[in-house]
Chains A and B, each alone.
Chain A
Amino acid sequence: MEVLTSLINVALIVATLRTTAPILLVALGGSFTTKAGIFNIGLEGQMLAGAFFAVLGSIWTGSAWGGVLCGVAAALVFAYVFALLVVTFRANEVVVGLALNILAGGMTISLMKAIFGTRGSIVGQGIVGLPKIQIPYARELLGSWAPLVSGYTPLVYIAFLSVPLFVLFYKRTRLGLYIRVVGEKPEAAEALGISITRIRYIASLLCGLFAGLAGAHLSLGYITMFTENMSSGRGFMAVAILIFSNGDPLRVLAGCLLFGLADAFSLRLQTFGYPSYLILAVPYLVALTALFALSYAARPKLIRETADSMRRFLRAETPDSRPTEGSR
């Protein structure tokens, strides 16, 4: 019992919210591309580029928000290249996504070497972290529960407040509706004069925006540093969550909270002296198992289509072997 209470308390929930935020941001970003019918495994790379350039930007400008802007800009460049290759040149989305992930990993390492002359990580050097926001009167009203709502960095609030906005966006705005239509039934969009290309570009860039914010949160949020490959698979976790949630904001939130909880929990477990490499695998195992169990019965269309597109790609079929528009 004692072990349980020391494990589960306000601090654990706070830690959960904090670890959830970056993955929630990147997964919400990916919700745009998922809904628009693009299988985007480039999230990891966009996030990593965002994290690196956020650090650079904060050093250059001396301001955390300058850093966030830089991070977002870098992620947008990645997102734009992704859209250019996938939407305009119709390259295979899995291949392009993987390539951009590898590029982001390599590029951050070599730029780190070139600019700072170091390997591994950038610490100090004048990096400015994001401020923590103290909600007025939180401590007076909530007492020991105050940390639940107060004292996070701004991007945590942005992440969680985005969820209801996303619900509204998909349900009530024209752009949200078009993104869904383009993903679900492109022929319908085309017949109504909605440009599939344009919508997919917009979705890609919106995705880059959120992936960049997620990256900035990683390197300027609770720790102000950049380390090699610091996104450490969160982008891929987000992809998994997106597949199982089909990009629905509320289900994305649920998936991310599950992952965040497992992550926070594993940090706790480390204090009990279990081997750390095992414990670090816990969040991934928990999240994957739960997500898989939840959604095995309802495998979404995207998985089947991606499998199909991979198969087509591997067979290296020429594009003109597709049946041409004929008359009946």
Chain B
Amino acid sequence: MEPDTASSTAADYAVELIGITKRFGTFTANDKIDLRVRRGEIHAIVGENGAGKTTLMNILFGLLQPDEGEIRLNGSPVVMDDPSVAIKLGLGMVHQHFKLVPSLTVAENVFLGMEIRRNGLIDHQAQEERTTELSKRFGLAVDATERVALLSVGIEQRIEILKVLVRGARTVILDEPTAVLTPQESRELFATMRSFAEGGMTVIFISHHLEEVIEVSDTVTVLRRGKAVATRPTAELNKAEMVRLMVDRDVSFERPTRPRTDGKTVLQVEGLWARDDRRHPALRDVSFEVRAGEIVGIAGVAGNGQTELAEVLSGLRPPSHGTAVLNGRDILTLSPAEVRAAGLAHVPGDRMTRGVDGNASIASNLMMGRQDRAPWKRRGLLDWKAAARESIGLIERFDIRARGPNDTVRRLSGGNIQKVVLAREFTNEASFLLIDQPTRGVDIGAQEAIHDEIMRQRANGVAILLISVQLDELLKLADRLLVMFNGRIMGTVDGENADEDQVGLMMAGVSPEQAEHAA
């Protein structure tokens, strides 16, 4: 790909990656990728999981060394031996997982690695003053003296950005920055990004949220299986075209049409309270019901009680008080196995700890929890032949990409591990399905398959409680949406005509009436 010399010269580009190739063993993560980012633009990089986005950014930032290819900054070739070189050259990276030290203050975190010292001792006061000044200049409000452990993720991200700015970054790389934010926080972030670009800085933005890419970026580069398949001005692409470039086929984002159902109540939760691991109240007076053939969505920013709700309902966490009746039986005093016997199937939010035994085979994992039943048990012993037969069927039906039923689960990709959990839980003929984060870490193609399977369960008359931090997933699937904030249900929204802004405000703790006004 030659730069079109008519309108721009090499020096107009803040960052150029030319022919970058990176292999991990036999796997080629980046295959001759070209990426040119103009100074002063917001350049989005999109692609499925495993398309090579993070690898490419790690190469640019010096965390990985490319096997082939060249990096140029402002037209001159550079070698990124390690991140300190990149930082010196004016690059700054805000990682997907924040790297802040919880016991230190905001200012200490911002200046970590470049402390202001006087007489050999760290000058905390000067650091705090500089942090406050910087946060005012860039509109990133923080309290410099607060300990990071006490702050929300939205503010943690601001601190990460301040860290980058204080090191003099002119090009800022943001790796899936909105994954942990509420829609309002995301919007504030976009405003910050735009002000950076207007100030002549360059922003590289990795995302798989295409609405956001369309909203904020000037140019978009699409990666697919390690290759850069297109670089276009964002205005020339719509969402469907981007997806087609990403997965090489059409994917539907439409809310599936569905018959109205009026099934009987399967789960009735009344006045439920529970505490989290630190003994703080995590659920406060939660009441709702789930009917047969209905998907009830729980929306909320992670950490507002959803995890605890799932744990209480699956028998993993004792509640403080309240009732939960499943198929006419109070389940709150039951053990996890007994709750399952009463009709629950549970797809846990953290699949590696509670969903699978990573060191066991696919066949074992697909059997777990039902080894006492036919066809897995025969004459009091496990029937491994039957287990293998069952597994082969499920591997096929759920499109689990593996070598066979004896493959170790840990060796699979995140999306395929999730499919193992779904394959087990969706075939338990349970009357109530508790699904926590069905598509976490799963790419767009596989997401669609999982969504279809959830809709199939609904059609079969299963009552479904769907917990997700991805609002668009809930808006697509849920019949009713309950919004959780700080352990309470802020309100219920009808899935058919839910408004993203209204739900977003409720996720941030605004009451439904006010949210409706504001949105």
Contacts and interface: CB of A to CB of B under 8 A. Distances in A.
A3 interface: no
B115 interface: yes
Interface in A237-280: none
A261 to B, nearest CB: 30
A135 interface: no
B99 A188 contact: yes
A328 interface: yes
Interface string A294-328: 00000000000000000000000000010011111
Contact of A185 (B54, B99, B441): B99
B122 A184 contact: no
B84 interface: yes
A177 B115 contact: yes
A327 B54 contact: yes
A328 B122 contact: no
B102 A184 contact: yes
A327 B82 contact: no
A231 B422 CA distance: 57
A173 B122 contact: yes
A178 to B, nearest CB: 8
Given A181-B104, A193-B83, A327-B29, A187 B99 contact: yes
B464 interface: no
B17 to A, nearest CB: 14
A194 B124 CA distance: 20
B83 A328 contact: no
Interface range, A side: 20 to 34
B112 A192 contact: yes
A193 B87 contact: yes
B101 A192 contact: no
A327 B50 contact: yes
A184 B101 CA distance: 7
Interface string B116-160: 010011101000000000000000000000000000000000000
A200 interface: no
A180 B101 contact: yes
Interface in A170-201: 171-174, 177, 180-181, 184-185, 187-188, 191-194
A181 B100 CA distance: 9
Nearest to A182: B101
Interface in B19-74: 24, 29-30, 49-56, 58, 64
B514 interface: no
Interface range, B side: 35 or more
Nearest to A176: B122
Contacts of B54: 326-328
A327 B97 CA distance: 13
Contacts of A328: 49-50, 53-54, 96, 176, 441
Interface string B428-444: 00000000000001000
A42 to B, nearest CB: 26
A188 B103 contact: no
B120 A173 contact: yes
Given A173-B122, A327-B55, A328-B96, A188 B112 contact: yes
B377 interface: no
What is the interface of chain A mostly: helix, strand, loop, or mixed?
helix
Contacts of B101: 180-181, 184-185, 188
A240 to B, nearest CB: 22
A192 B61 CA distance: 12
Contacts of A188: 99-101, 109, 112
A193 B113 contact: yes
B121 A327 contact: no
Contacts of B64: 325
B95 A177 contact: no
B50 A326 contact: yes
A315 to B, nearest CB: 8
B410 interface: yes
A180 B115 CA distance: 14
Contacts of B29: 326-327
Given A174-B117, A326-B50, A328-B54, A181 B112 contact: yes
Contacts of A168: 121
Given A188-B99, A188-B112, A177 B122 contact: yes
Contacts of A171: 122
A327 B53 contact: yes
B425 interface: no
Nearest to A172: B121
Contacts of B95: 191
Interface in A148-166: none
Nearest to A321: B410
Contacts of B87: 193
Nearest to B109: A188
A126 B115 CA distance: 51
B479 interface: no
B473 interface: no
A194 B113 contact: yes
Contacts of B53: 327-328
A321 B410 CA distance: 9
A305 to B, nearest CB: 15
A172 B55 contact: no
B24, B99, B441 pick with most chain A CB within 10 angstroms: B99
Contacts of A325: 24, 58, 64
Contacts of A321: 410
A185 B100 contact: yes
A180, A188, A327 pick with most chain B CB within 10 angstroms: A327
B108 interface: yes
A127 B55 CA distance: 63
Contacts of A187: 97, 99
A313 to B, nearest CB: 15
Nearest to B98: A188
Contacts of A194: 113
Contacts of A173: 120-122
15 contacts: A168-B121, A172-B121, A172-B124, A187-B99, A188-B100, A191-B83, A192-B113, A193-B82, A193-B87, A325-B24, A326-B29, A327-B50, A327-B54, A327-B56, A328-B176
Given A174-B122, A326-B54, 17 more contacts: A172-B122, A173-B120, A173-B122, A174-B115, A174-B117, A180-B101, A184-B103, A185-B99, A185-B101, A185-B102, A188-B101, A188-B109, A191-B99, A325-B64, A328-B54, A328-B96, A328-B441
Interface of B: 24, 29-30, 49-56, 58, 64, 82-84, 87, 95-97, 99-104, 108-109, 112-113, 115, 117, 120-122, 124, 176, 410, 441
